[in-house]
Amino acid sequence: MSTADMSLPAKFDWSSQAAVARRRSRHAADHRLRWIGIVAIMIAVGLLGILLATLVSTGYRAFVQTMATVPVYINPEYVDENDPSKGNYRAIVKDTLTSLFPDVTNPRDQRDLGKLLTNNTQFMIRNKVVADPSIIGTTVEMTLPVSDPFDQLEKGVLSRELPEDQRKINDKEIGWFDALAAEGRISTPFNWGLFFNSDSRFPELAGLAGAIVGSFYALLVCFLISFPVGIAAAVYLEEFAPKNRWTDLVEVNINNLAAVPSIVFGLLGLAVFLNFFGMPRSAPLVGGMVLSLMTLPTIIIVTRASLKAVPPSIREGGLGMGASRHQVITHHVLPLALPGILTGTIIGLAQALGETAPLLLIGMNAFITSPPGGLLDASTALPTQIFIWADSPERGFVDRTSAAILVLLGFLIIMNGIAIFLRQRLERTW
């Protein structure tokens, strides 16, 4: 039968009013759909923008710290040259301040002068002397953080307009601070302490070093456990496991595991690692183990997807050459799947880095003032440090909470950036 023989349907009137209306409504629907999408994206981006804007607007203050540069006379009367760690450094601080304000003679006022500098000034001087005992008997210029209320005053958070009885510092104290400022002794350099100090009760001294090191150790443990285990499990499930009810069950459970609320993993860690195995509380080792429980399903799922994406022709090519299965997997399939696996792993670790709830349950929200020296030392992690600071009443901690969130987000952006870089760099086409 040739085409000429085929009967066409009755001629359709494409220009009738009904047809035109139908076409118009179809176009309108297309248009609506596109606009709904654009509005949705605008809402998402807008909310993200608001979040970042608030974080930056409060957090930027924590990235600078008001410091006072003062001449400190290391009086040999107070410090024993042979054992500099046991000197009367408190007196040195007092002398330093009274020498700056010779007209303050009232003992009560003299004591109040001490509020200008951070509470730990005496220890900072001690550390300096211990590090270099030759400065005993000389005057050294030291740049020390001022205490939180003055820091806030300098940054304009604490208003001078406020009635005196509502401020933490009175007019006289502000006068002293202004006098120091007039002498050019006040500066606001970049706050390296935020990265190199550990937690402290005093916001002007509190930093993230302990949390960063703790998070690093926890992620290291998490990676060392979940990466090999995840890949091994995924390779077995994808390349070796027979397709039967048992492997289906395992598969469903792994997918469900990825959706289990993180606090449940925390409880598991508390019950199993701490109570049953008696592992140390607050340790990055346990934190990492708990986090690896959460990262494992992600890595398994991503690895399986990457293995699936390797074209079967590569496997056939290998098998057809007489390569054994493990040779096909280790020589051909895994190297090709690696970019995807690495990307997924980094994204899984980034998730783990931001995870708070399970760490709270195993006690990684303790108050710890020095970075952990190893996997078994008590420590905090970045998200738990944010949690602790967000709970602290001092004004300085509000800024530091935002700053810590920005630091955490910075790490996440870096990790995701590495993932994108690896993906683009290593991905091969065939």
Partner 1 sequence: MNDAAVAEKPVSNKTIVVEDPNMNPIRVAAKNTNVFYGQKQALFDVSIDIPERSVTAFIGPSGCGKSTFLRCINRMNDTIDGCRVTGDISLDGRDIYDPSLDVVELRARVGMVFQKPNPFPKSIYDNIAYGPKIHGLARNKAELDEIVEMSLQKAGLWNEVKDRLNDSGTGLSGGQQQRLCIARAIAVSPEVILMDEPCSALDPIATAKVEELIDELKENYCIIIVTHSMQQAARVSQRTAFFHIGILVEVGPTEHIFTNPKDERTHDYITGRFG
Distance CA 380, CA 408 (A): 13
Distance CA 222, CA 293 (A): 8
Of 256 and 324, nearer to partner 1 (C-beta) is 324
Q: Is residue 425 a contact residue for partner 1 (CB under 8 A)?
A: no
Q: Is residue 331 a contact residue for partner 1 (CB under 8 A)?
A: yes
Q: How far is the CB of 324 from partner 1 (least distance, A)?
A: 5
Q: Is residue 327 a contact residue for partner 1 (CB under 8 A)?
A: yes
Of 158 and 334, nearer to partner 1 (C-beta) is 334
Query: Which segment (20-28, 272-280, 316-324, 373-381) binds partner 1 by CB under 8 A?
Result: 316-324
Residues of the chain by 3-state class (helix, strand, coil), percent to 5: 65, 5, 30
CA distance to 26, 47, 129, 210, 417, per residue, from 38 (Å): 19, 14, 63, 43, 26
Q: How far is the CB of 316 from partner 1 (least distance, A)?
A: 6
Q: Is residue 243 a contact residue for partner 1 (CB under 8 A)?
A: yes
Question: For the chain, how many helices (H) and strands (E)?
Answer: 17, 3
Q: Is residue 336 a contact residue for partner 1 (CB under 8 A)?
A: yes
DSSP letter at 8 equals: P
- The DSSP bridge partners found for residue 141 are 71
Within residues 203-242, the interface with partner 1 by CB under 8 A covers: 242
Query: Which segment (42-50, 153-161, 280-288, 325-333) binds partner 1 by CB under 8 A?
Result: 325-333
User: Would strands 67-73 and 186-187 be described as parallel, antiparallel, or unpaired?
Assistant: antiparallel
Q: Is residue 245 a contact residue for partner 1 (CB under 8 A)?
A: no
**Which candidate, 397, 239, 227, 362, places its Cα nearest to that of 290?**
362
Residue 145 phi, psi dihedral angles, 5° rounding = -65, 140
Number of residues that bind partner 1 (CB under 8 A): 22
Report the 10 Å Cβ neighbour count for 161: 5
State whether the Cα torsion 132-134-137-138 is positive or negative: negative
Q: Is residue 247 a contact residue for partner 1 (CB under 8 A)?
A: no
Of 323 and 390, nearer to partner 1 (C-beta) is 323
Report the 10 Å Cβ neighbour count for 56: 13
Q: Is residue 317 a contact residue for partner 1 (CB under 8 A)?
A: yes
Distance CA 241, CA 243 (A): 6
Asked if residue 322 lies in contact with residue 253, where contact means CB atoms within 8 angstroms, the answer is no
Query: Which segment (9-17, 56-64, 328-336, 394-402) binds partner 1 by CB under 8 A?
Result: 328-336
Q: Is residue 248 a contact residue for partner 1 (CB under 8 A)?
A: no
Query: Which segment (47-55, 165-173, 227-235, 317-325) binds partner 1 by CB under 8 A?
Result: 317-325
Distance CA 78, CA 357 (A): 48
Of 328 and 419, nearer to partner 1 (C-beta) is 328
Q: How far is the CB of 264 from partner 1 (least distance, A)?
A: 35
Distance CA 401, CA 395 (A): 10
**Which candidate, 305, 344, 350, places its Cα nearest to that of 423?**
344
Distance CA 426, CA 430 (A): 13
Of 263 and 319, nearer to partner 1 (C-beta) is 319
Among 324, 373, 410, 420, binds partner 1 (CB under 8 A): 324
Q: How far is the CB of 296 from partner 1 (least distance, A)?
A: 26
Of 86 and 331, nearer to partner 1 (C-beta) is 331
Query: Which segment (6-14, 207-215, 315-323, 356-364) binds partner 1 by CB under 8 A?
Result: 315-323
Q: Is residue 311 a contact residue for partner 1 (CB under 8 A)?
A: yes
Query: Which segment (5-13, 116-124, 301-309, 312-320) binds partner 1 by CB under 8 A?
Result: 312-320
The residues that touch partner 1, with contacts defined as CB under 8 A, are 242-243, 311, 313-324, 327, 331-332, 336, 428-430
